[in-house]
Amino acid sequence: MKKVSLVLIATGILWAENFTQIKNEITNSLSYKLAQKKVQIYEKKLKAVKAKNYGSLDFEYNAVHFFNQPEMKLTSPQPVAVAPDGIHLIYQDVKATLPMADKNHFIGEIKYSYPLFTGFGISNLIKKSELELIKQKLELKNVKRELILNAAKLYSSIYALKCNINALKFAKNALNTAREKADALYKEGLINKSSVDEINAKYYEVIADIKNLKSQKESLLNMLSYLLNKKIDKIDGIIVKKINFSPDFQKRPDVRAIKETLKISDVDIKLAKSKLYPQIGFVAGLKREADNLILTKNDYQNIDKSYLGIGIKYNIYNGGATKNEIEMAKIAKASALIYYKNYLNKVKTDYQNDLANYKALFFRLKAAKEEVKARESYYEYIKAKFNEGLADSSDLNDAIAKLAAAKAKRDAIKAQIFFLGVKLRYDGGENE
């Protein structure tokens, strides 16, 4: 059952958000939605690349009007007379002009082209797009992980401030009681006016501190609201308990995303090598050329010019560009591998440091709890002395301040334990 605090206010009902609710609502964040859109882009990219496997079917229609009728000019020798010897003929060049087409010319074509062989280029492009999509989905998961960690940091900080405010409210109430008692003792002549003024000054100092902390808390609540893309007015409490962790860094989405980058590097090498192979393509077309719009009349040529064709393209020399592209892809893969190892080492180091800090915090928490007990006992002792007029107001102020500080310190440690508990789970690949 979800733990929820309910507070009635003038405009309606205000619910305090616990951290489980915040985790469930993290996908409402605009940062998460932006990352979702990136996934959708890569999904469409994969479909676009896969479409290359089906070839391309295109329709084209052209209408042309010539200002002058297309003609063919012929020059041929023609016999025009008999030579004087009576045997040979005398020839003369005769020029003739033949119409080749009508002034209006129309061409319609439906063409299908298909890449028979691309040096495995298309298959590798598809593989690369598939890996990029997997990587983007993992990055989406990592965005969610980072948003949860940011929310946990804000949540724990707000909780610490809330507890600090409560500790100061206790100090404020204690000082208010002390003020009333000081006034009574002053009227009886048991303490001087400076003692009363000292307590009053401390009272208003605490009020100012409360106002300042409330302002800080409001700022953090606004940041949490921005993160979740919804208004958060207050938060609930936290549960502090020691957790045994079983980290598996290979399950972390950011680590998995980097591993996909290594796979993409392999495909990039294959793509570069595909340029070493010839490119073979097939084309077939239904084509008509005519003198009218509906392509049914042609007084000069055959109307049907449909065709089948195969083309081969092979690069013989490009200045070593292909070789350098292959080497570049290999270097990029080596670089990605170094980055992966370095990133994984950093992940492990940060985790070990956080775990050591997490364990130490429980000892600090135990000490802080004992300090609160000691400060409570001392405060009760000084308060009793002050009520009898046997203790100075400065001693009482000091006891109240130290008790409030001890409570705030204890709760701040609890907040740190809570945050590190969340961080160690998600940084260790758990809850994924």
Which residues, including other chains, have CB under 8 Å from residue 376's CB and lie 6 or more apart? 403
Say if residue 10's pLDDT is above 60. Answer: no
Give tens-digit pLDDT for 80-107. Answer: 777 787 777 877 887 878 787 788 889 9
Q: Is the pTM of this model over 0.95?
A: no
- What pLDDT is attached to residue 109? 96
Question: Mean pLDDT over residues 48-65, rounded?
Answer: 95
Place of tokens 């000069």: 300
% residues pLDDT > 70 (the chain): 96
Helix axes 121-187, 393-427, angle to 10 degrees: 170
- What pLDDT is attached to residue 432? 54
Q: Across the chain, what does the average pLDDT equal?
A: 91
CB 145 within 8 A of CB 432: yes
SS3 of residue 308 by DSSP: strand
Question: Mean pLDDT over residues 179-207, rounded?
Answer: 89
CA atoms within 13 Å, Cβ hemisphere of 169 = 9
Say if residue 203's pLDDT is above 70. Answer: yes
- What pLDDT is attached to residue 16? 65
Q: How many residues does the chain have?
A: 432
* CA separation for the pair 363, 359 (Å, rounded): 7
Of residues 1 and 127, more confidence is placed in 127
The CATH number, out of the four listed (1.10.3720.10, 3.40.980.10, 1.20.1600.10, 3.40.50.80), of the domain defined by the range 17-56+119-279+318-427: 1.20.1600.10
- What pLDDT is attached to residue 284? 97
- What pLDDT is attached to residue 72? 82
- The backbone torsions φ and ψ at residue 104, rounded to the nearest 5 degrees and listed phi first, read -100, 125
Question: Mean pLDDT over residues 168-186, rounded?
Answer: 91
Say if residue 431's pLDDT is above 80. Answer: no
In 93-113, which positions are buried (b, 16+ CB within 10 angstroms) versus exposed (e)?
Answer: eeeeeeeebbeebbebbebee
CB-neighbour burial class of residue 158 (10 A; exposed 0-12, middle 13-18, buried 19+): buried
* CA separation for the pair 165, 172 (Å, rounded): 10
- What pLDDT is attached to residue 224? 97
CB 110 within 8 A of CB 285: yes
* Structure tokens belonging to residue 109: 């074509």
Helix axes 393-427, 321-387, angle to 10 degrees: 150
Handedness of CA 148, 154, 159, 160 (dihedral sign): positive
SS3 of residue 198 by DSSP: helix
CB 85 within 8 A of CB 61: no
